[in-house]
Structure 1
Amino acid sequence: MTDLDTFDVIVVGGGPAGATAANDLARMGHHVLLLDRGHRIKPCGGAIPPRAIKDFAIPGECLVARITSARMVAPSGKEVDMPIDGGFVGMVDRATFDEWLRNRAADSGAERRKGKFEKYWRDEKGRAVITYKTADGEHVSVAAKAVIGADGANSEVAKQALPDVKKVPLVYAYHEIVKTPVGGLTNYDPTRCDVYYQGKLSPDFYAWIFPHGDTVSIGTGTMIKGFDMRQAVADLRKHVGLDEEHAETLRWEGSPIPLKPLKRWDNGRDVVLAGDASGVVAPASGEGIYYALLGGRLAAEAAAEFLKTADARALATARKRFMKEHGKVFWVLELMQHFWYRNDKRRERFVNICQDKDVQRLTWQSYMHKELVRSNPVAHARIFFKDLAHLLGLVRT
């Protein structure tokens, strides 16, 4: 066992969380292995807020589109536009964006390897050991002082290192990346995200059309097994004139997405989770890229403190810090999804609320800056009473 390659930290998973953690740790001077199985692209609308662009130094060339408004579509077909006043939402294509993040980590000094994680264990020296399988079928073991599990919603690292942590609810997402056709479409705007709150397209979540410059992400999500997501996407594509006859399908992806942070992210010894593995995708909105980037950074900082002090309690600070900053937002969004997405009657009222200018302004401010807006208490009060009126059915849709 003495000939094992040994690292300060092994990061399992090369998505936004894992790549960010590896990059940050390498920049701190630590010896880092970034292990990614490769050939996997997560289904994702690709939206990142300005705060993510700023906090994680995302260059303009990573953005394939800049969104300046959103359109909410009710079950009745009613459309409500929500313009972004003086700002934009960046759009990325995960096929190229994730690879850019991994390359950045490598440029910072992290060692990249491709392989499928198989086993987490500890050797006779008390070291954490990861065994992975290469594309050639070789089984390789490497050791480290700490491990960051960033290997997705069905994290194998979490299953083995934190087997007693209760699983969280999952939404199953599916999307198709299609080529944007040359020529204008009457119901498509390359600077607008369209979100469909219609039970026929998603019985308990939503469907989407998100522009990616030369391509478009068209997808849906649901927690209900057996719902035909492929057919829902086909119906949506036909509705907007982006069906197979008019727009070439370049690729398609499907994957589970968690919608609630796990109760614990570390094993109290040498493992901490990040990204989807820790459950940090926002309920109701399904937003995950910013929270994955942040989760990766917090896991890296927790691991760095553990390396410095040898105190395993440092690993728990990743979750504590995340929940302190975003726990309330996740709680509110979970309540919102539970109530408003339950049936089409409520979805109709939800879209109707989105017409309100106070709701629009505060929604965009909170989304873009990733914090609850406290600067306008009068507006919050107005929204509370308007929302209450909708909940009680006192407002006609």
Structure 2
Amino acid sequence: MAVKTSACLAAALLTQTTAAADAFAVAGQPQKISVVQRGLRGAAASQESAAPAGSWASATAVAASVAVAAAVVPRRQRKAAKLAGASMVPNKNQRTIRDAKTIVCAGPRLPEGRKLRVAVIGGGPGGASCADALAKGGCETYLIERKLDNCKPCGGAIPMCMVGEFDLPTDLIDRKVRKMTMISPTNNEVQIGRTLKDDEYIGMVRREVLDNFLRERAAENGATLINGLFTQMRMPKSEKESYVLTYNDFGDAEGDARKGVKKTLEVDVVIGADGANSRVAKEIEAGDYEYAIAFQERMRIPEDKMEYYKERAEMYVGEDVSPDFYAWVFPKYDHVAVGTGTVVDKKGIQKYQQGIRERAAPRIEGGEIIRVEAHPIPEHPRPWRTKDRCTLIGDAAGYVTKCSGEGIYFAAKSGLMCASEIVAASENGTRQITQNDLMEYIRKFDSKYGPTYIVLDALQKLFYTSDAARESFVDLCELDYVQQVTFDSYLYKTVQGNSPIGDVMLLGKTVSSLVKYNTSKVPEMRQLA
């Protein structure tokens, strides 16, 4: 699933930082490690601090704290952070590791005529983007992907900036969404998108189309594409030894079409891009994380109803469609995707899918289900993402945002950032790399996007806990200020300057809205609706 206006209030706060976000800006300092793990891992301690459903006083306090934090960071510091490409500006009187003057020696030069060998396991947006950049950067690159004709269930939304940043042809985009209808538990509808410019949009893609394009481009640029299933990995015992990967090759015409041919591959570096159930993560003992189950049905609906979704997507919230997330109707090429997700009640996913079918019934009536998809979605980054010369990107690393569920852009971006560090450290594939080189990619990713994960996690705990909070959330999204900052932050993935006056007004509106809906009888309102 990709980010939608479920992050309406979140985006208004993403230009700011909290104390916890400091961990990402100065990653690498020993005293900050525990904070980093709490922020990205979603540790039990932070989960226990979440306000229980129905506790509107606690929810109001959280809202006030987050909104006040938004107001205390001077605009001058935010501007400096934007120019520097950092997620925040540390205290000017406090020295950080970035201030240290060190000399970093390159790894040993590889034998004449041999390039750095890198295997990327998984051919989604993250793996394919990583393999493409590695191949173009001079590395001997292997991309191993089993499901070349399949893809994971996904809302399929990408920010407009991704089209230019990853040089995507516009014909990959099925729909350009310029309108978002948010629907509350009592079926109160708020229209989002009136602040968009004429040339701005959210791109809707089919993952099978996008993933195939990215893989084929990587192959054209020199990556070796292997239709195979990665099964295990033998770890090197020294810096000079290689990783030995075992996989079942399904591209061998002489092999069993069901089992493939067992083969091995020796490489210097391994990139795990193999999703939430990553085998690479298990091999390096990266640790487990909480995950959601996403369930989605592709439906072909009558043409007159499809016209309604020409430039529109819908997001539904309510206990009947998800106890801790949201449900959606997103337009595709000639059909719509109808789905939902949940962490706290995975076994009840069919019940919530039935809930979204019923809520959206007037607009999808007569629809024919053409495809059913289900898949685990990570809820926070893994405890460890790098070991020796092996690292994780995309869903394997846990780069899906809370509250909004966005993963495509962050997967592709993490793959690109990882590849860039490898190419630079290896001097275009001529030198060996080390764990420190891969940790540099982790540090930069956390510094740039860590605050985003922290804020969205906090907002999910605030607004997805009860129907009263969800009503308040939809109510807040009516504000032009919230819509403006939401789309600016989402479409361009950059820190957008906001207004202190707007922050104060948002704080007041948040508190009053939470009080209003938590003192009303939302369940009764829903029955009347």
* TM score, norm. by length of structure 2: 0.69
Answering whether residue 127 of structure 2 is matched by residue 18 of structure 1, we say: yes
Match of 1:300 in 2: 419
For structure 2, which runs of at least 5 residues remain unmatched after alignment?
Answer: 1-113, 251-255, 521-529
2:402 is matched with 283
Give, as a single letter, the amino acid of the residue that structure 2 aligns with 1:147: V
CA distance in 2, matches of 1:362, 1:245: 35
How far residue 177 of structure 1 moved from its aligned partner, in angstroms, is: 1.2
TM-superposed deviation, 1:16: 0.3
> Where is the helix percentage greater, Structure 1 or Structure 2?
2
3-state SS of the aligned residue for 2:439? Answer: helix
Does the 8 A contact of 1:329 with 1:372 survive in 2? no
**283-292 vs 134-143, which moves further:** 134-143
Tell me how far 1:307 sits from its aligned partner: 3.1
- Out of 171, 174, 183, the residue aligned to residue 295 of structure 2 is 174
1:298-377 aligned within 5 A: 298-308=417-427, 310-377=433-500
State the AA in 1 paired with 2:323: P
CA contact (8 A) 2:316 2:356 kept: no
Partners in 1 of 2:299 and 2:184 — Cα distance?
24
Q: How does 1:218-237 map to 2 (within 5 A)?
A: 218-237=338-357
Unpaired runs of at least 5, structure 1: none
How far apart are residue 27 of structure 1 and its match? 1.0
Q: Is the 8 A contact 1:185 1:241 kept in 2?
A: no
Deviates more, 1:251-260 or 1:218-227: 218-227
The question of whether the paired residues in 1 share the 8 Å contact of 2:116 and 2:426 is answered with no
In 2, the alpha carbon distance for the partners of 1:234 and 1:115 equals 36
Higher strand content, 1 or 2: 1
Whether contact under 8 Å (2:124, 2:211) holds in the other structure is yes
- Taking a change above 3 Å as real, the CA distance of residues 352 and 176 of structure 1, as seen in their structure-2 partners, is same
Alignment of 1:51 onto 2:161: yes
Q: Is the 8 A contact 1:24 1:297 kept in 2?
A: yes
Matched, 1:266 2:379: no
C-alpha RMSD of matched pairs (Å): 2.3
Contact 2:156 2:206 in 1 (8 A): yes
SS of the residue aligned with 2:153? Answer: coil
Name the counterpart of 1:210: 330
Distance 1:276 1:6 in 2: 28
Amino acid at match of 1:131: T
- How far apart in 2 are the matches of 1:29 and 1:391? 55
Alignment partner of 1:126 is 2:236: no
The whole-number CA distance in structure 1 between the counterparts of 2:318 and 2:292 is 16
CA–CA separation in structure 2 for the residues paired with 1:381 and 1:189: 35
Deviation at 1:8, TM superposition (A): 1.2
Measured in 2, the distance between the counterparts of 1:109 and 1:54 equals 22
Is the CA contact 2:295–2:340 (under 8 Å) kept in the aligned structure 1?
yes
Alignment length (residue pairs): 389
Could you tell me how far apart the structure 1 residues matched to 2:401 and 2:203 are? 18
d(CA) in 2 for partners of 1:156, 1:194: 35
Cα deviation, residue 225, structure 1? 3.6
CA distance in 2, matches of 1:56, 1:331: 26
Q: Distance in 2 between matches of 1:6 and 1:143?
A: 13
Q: Give SS of 2:399's match.
A: coil
Q: Flag as ranges the 4+ runs of structure 1 deviating above 6 A.
A: 242-245, 394-397
Deviation at 1:6, TM superposition (A): 9.2
Contact 1:6/1:144 (<8 A) preserved: no
Percent of residue pairs bearing the same amino acid type: 32
Q: Structure 2: how far apart are the matches of 1:148 and 1:184?
A: 43
C-alpha contact 2:115 2:139 (8 A) present in aligned 1: no
Call closer, same or farther: CA 1:78–1:245 in 2, change over 3 Å: closer
CA distance in 2, matches of 1:139, 1:373: 51
- Distance between the aligned counterparts of 1:235 and 1:223, measured in 2? 16
Correspondence for 2:216: 103
Give 1:66's aligned residue: 176
Q: Is the 8 A contact 1:326 1:371 kept in 2?
A: no
1:316-360 deviation line (CA, Å, top 9, x unaligned): 122211111111111000000012101111111111111111111
CA–CA separation in structure 2 for the residues paired with 1:243 and 1:95: 26
Tell me how far 1:23 sits from its aligned partner: 0.5
- Please give the alpha-carbon distance, in whole angstroms, between the structure 2 residues aligned to 1:91 and 1:376: 31
3-state secondary structure, aligned to 1:183: helix
TM-score (norm 1): 0.92
In the alignment, the residues of structure 2 paired with residue 121 and residue 13 of structure 1 have an alpha-carbon distance, to the nearest angstrom, of 18
- What code does the residue aligned with 1:43 have? P
Task: Quote the offset at 1:15 in angstroms.
Answer: 0.2
Paired letter, 2:231:
E
Q: In structure 1, what is the Cα distance between the partners aligned to 2:517 and 2:184?
A: 18
Q: Does 1:31 align with 2:144?
A: no
Aligned-partner Cα distance in 1 for 2:211–2:228? 16
